[in-house]
Every structure is written in C-alpha cells, then in structure tokens.
Amino acid sequence: MPALFMNPDRLRRIDAWIGVPACFILTVADRVRRLVSRPTQPAPPRQILLIELAEMGTTVLAAPAVHRLRSRYPSCTISFLVFKHIADSVHIVGLTSTDQVLTIDVSSVTSFVRDTWRVIRLMRERGIDTVINLEMFARFSTILSYLTGARTRVGFHPFTQSGIYVGHLFTHPVLYSPHLHTWQSLLTLVNALEEPASDVPFGKLPTPATDECVVPTVTSDRQAQETIWSMMAERYPDVRGKRLVVINPNASKLIEIRKWPLDRYAALVQRLLERPEIVCVITGIASEHEDAQYIVERVTSDRLVNLVGRTTLRQLIDLFNVAELLVSNDSGPAHFAALTPIHTLVFFGPETPALYKPLSARCTALYSHYACSPCVSAYNQRRSPCTDNRCLQAISVDEVYGAIGRILDERTRVIPY
C-alpha cells in the first residue's frame, strides 16, 4: 500500500480537519454563485466521470452501473478517476478505455498534491459535464466532484445523519440506503440522472432488480495460464494435475479487522494438505509477505506454494481461471474472483454479505451473525472501535474445512477429475 495510506486513522483525521471546512467553504461559494448567475437548463450527458478512488473491489461492484450508463447514453465518453495503485482494476474489469482513466499518485504528499492539481485541470479541459461520485460520504471525492465544474453532480448525501458532513455540493443528492447491496446502491446513483429535479431526496426509484446485475467475465488465454503454471512449478514441480486452492489471508489496512485469524488459516491449510490431490497457493502483495510467512512456517508440506508479491492483478485473475477455490477475507481479490469460474469462500464479520458479497453465484459467505455486526458501515467511514473481532473468530476451522469439502465435492460432480 502506498506510503500515504499506511495510517488509515491519520487519513480519516485529515479528511475531518481539512475536508469539513473545505466542503463548507465550497458550499457557501456555490450558493453565492447561484445567486448571481442564471440557472442552466439540464442537458443529456456527453462527458461522464465516475470517481472511485481507493477501494479496488468497488470497481467490480460498479460494473452494473457502468453497463447501465453505456446502454442509456451510448454516445457518451465515460472516464474514471482512481488512485494510481488501483488503476489496473479499472482496465481489467473493462469499465472504460485506458486513455479515459485519470489517476492520482498517493505514494507521497508531493505526488498527491501535484496530481490532484493536474487532474482538476485535466477534467476541466475535457469538459466533464456529469460526475458520479461512487464513494460514500468521502469528502475528498466530493470536493473533486465539485471542482470538475460539471453542471450535473451525483453522489450520496447524509441529509439528517449527523457526523458525516460533506457540504451541499451535489446537484443530485441521493439518499444512501444501508439495506441495499452495494451494486444496487451504485446503480441507483446512475438511475438518479433521470429523476425530476424536484425530488428530495434523489433515489426515489424501485430497487434495481437482480437481472440488472451485469458482471463481465475475464478469461485467460493459454499463454497466460502457462505462465501461472510455470510460476507455481518453480515452487512445486508436480503442481500440474493437482486441485488448486488459493488462500488470501490478507485484507486492506483500511479495515484490518476483516481478517480471519492467521493461526486459523495455518491450521486450515495444514488440514487441506492432508489430501494429496490438493495444492494450496498463498497470494498477496509484497507488503503482505509477513502474513504469508506466518503460514509457511507452521505448515510442513512442499505442496504449499507462496506467490505473495510475485503476481500482478492480471496474473491473479489468471490464477483464478485455473484454480478451483479461493478462500479469502472480505477484500478486493474476492470481488475479482467473481469475474472468473472459480468458487469463492469469503469470511464476513465487521461487514455484512448483504451489502458486500461478491457478485457471483459461485460464492459461499461465512458469517457468524453477531449482534454487534456489522460494525463497519458508510455512516462511520468504515471505522470500527473493535480491536477483538470475535465475529470472525467464531468461525471455526472445522466449519470452514467442512464447507470446502462440500464445495470441492460438488465441483467434482460438475467437472469430473
């Protein structure tokens, strides 16, 4: 994770101490501007910008919303604004062309300030007329939405919810519902473009139906698959012909309490490798090496392949295309697995599968239904006071191993080995 994002609490403090007054000042300036200028007539969108800065998995959850935009406004140009380190996610999901992805480098304060200024100028040069802010109550993306100069700005507004002030900078303020899956909430933002201006709040629309959940499929060609097999064979030469179970023991530092305990992962892998037909593959980015090493040191088997820090996001998709099962915390890889034929088993606790379950019929969610769960939501900027995630600790190794056995048995019946 880039250096600027190593301390999520610091980011939240910056967002509060700088974001709140900035949103207030811009709100006052906007109201003054509207008093002295003539109102403009609404026009169909031509240049649409979607903002989703930090959450890689949300680019997958936004796919149905982008599909709706393309079908409703086929002649429009759709651009995306993201932080640089997740730009590949937009390309892989196929949300827009490479030249329409704007990025902000957050590896340092200098690059962050420089790129923010560059992006604001570039958005104005491109004549962005419609902005859809996919982030929930994030002040920085709200400010960027306004500074584009777009005449139409759509985003979630807190209305009567206290403590999450984002100013009054949207022309289409949509009421966020914590009872809809995230893909439905994001699609509602797009649908709000067609609401009458008199609606208060925006979002007075039917809940998006299941058949509107259009998710792309990302396949891997033979050469890409061969590359993945070769990478695994460097660690375990007899990997071909084995049943691959991918292990993702990591989660974003923004919400670390989403992690199922590492000792449980190690115990699970040890039990899985008692089955001679299985090879377990640990994945993650380079900064997550320590978690992988914890498992490697406690599991005695040459059929444990550690690929942490060795794969790109595109190669991770290739791995999902040749493996049978992904066991993962609630994080980005679980959502990208939904683009492939792999079955995914995902742990939920601080967040709920009702809002964040990956968009695949081949997904099993393990959730303990604790009374305090979910403790992470859009309303608290996904920050929880919890330091002891018993909701995840309540999910036992036996329960997970049993679920994996049923999944693999079912896949055997569908795809005989």
Give pLDDT, residue 417.
Answer: 41
What pLDDT shows up at residue 416? 46
| Domain locations along the chain | 3-212, 222-414
pLDDT digits (tens, 9 = 90+) for 213-260: 999 999 999 999 999 999 999 999 999 999 999 999 987 666 788 999
pLDDT of residue 15: 81
The domain 3-212 is placed in CATH, from the list 3.30.470.10, 3.40.50.300, 2.50.20.10, 3.40.50.2000, at 3.40.50.2000
- State the pLDDT at residue 281: 98
Among candidate residues 121, 159, 156, 125, the one with its CA nearest the CA of residue 141:
156
Distance between first and last Cα of the chain: 39
Structure tokens at 51: 């903002």
Average pLDDT, rounded, for the chain? 92
pLDDT single digits (tens) 232-243 = 999 999 999 999
**pLDDT the model gives residue 321:** 97
Residues 59/63/64/69 CA torsion (nearest 10 deg): 100
C-beta separation of 344 from 321 below 8 A? no
What is the pTM assigned to this prediction? 0.92
Q: Is the model's pLDDT at 71 over the cut of 70?
A: yes
Alpha helices by DSSP H, listed for 148-237, are 182-191, 222-233
Are 3-212 and 222-414 the same fold in CATH? yes
Among 155, 158, 125, CA closest to 53: 155
| pLDDT tens digits, 118-177 | 999 999 999 999 999 999 999 999 999 999 999 999 999 999 887 789 999 999 999 999
Integer CA distances (angstroms), 182 to 57, 136, 203, 224, in order:
11, 10, 14, 31
| Cα 239 from Cα 220, distance rounded (Å) | 19
Tokens of 218: 């990302």
- Report the pLDDT value the prediction gives residue 413, as an integer from 0 to 100: 61
CATH 3.40.50.2000 given to domain 222-414: yes
| CA proximity to 283, closest of 256, 258, 243, 314 | 314
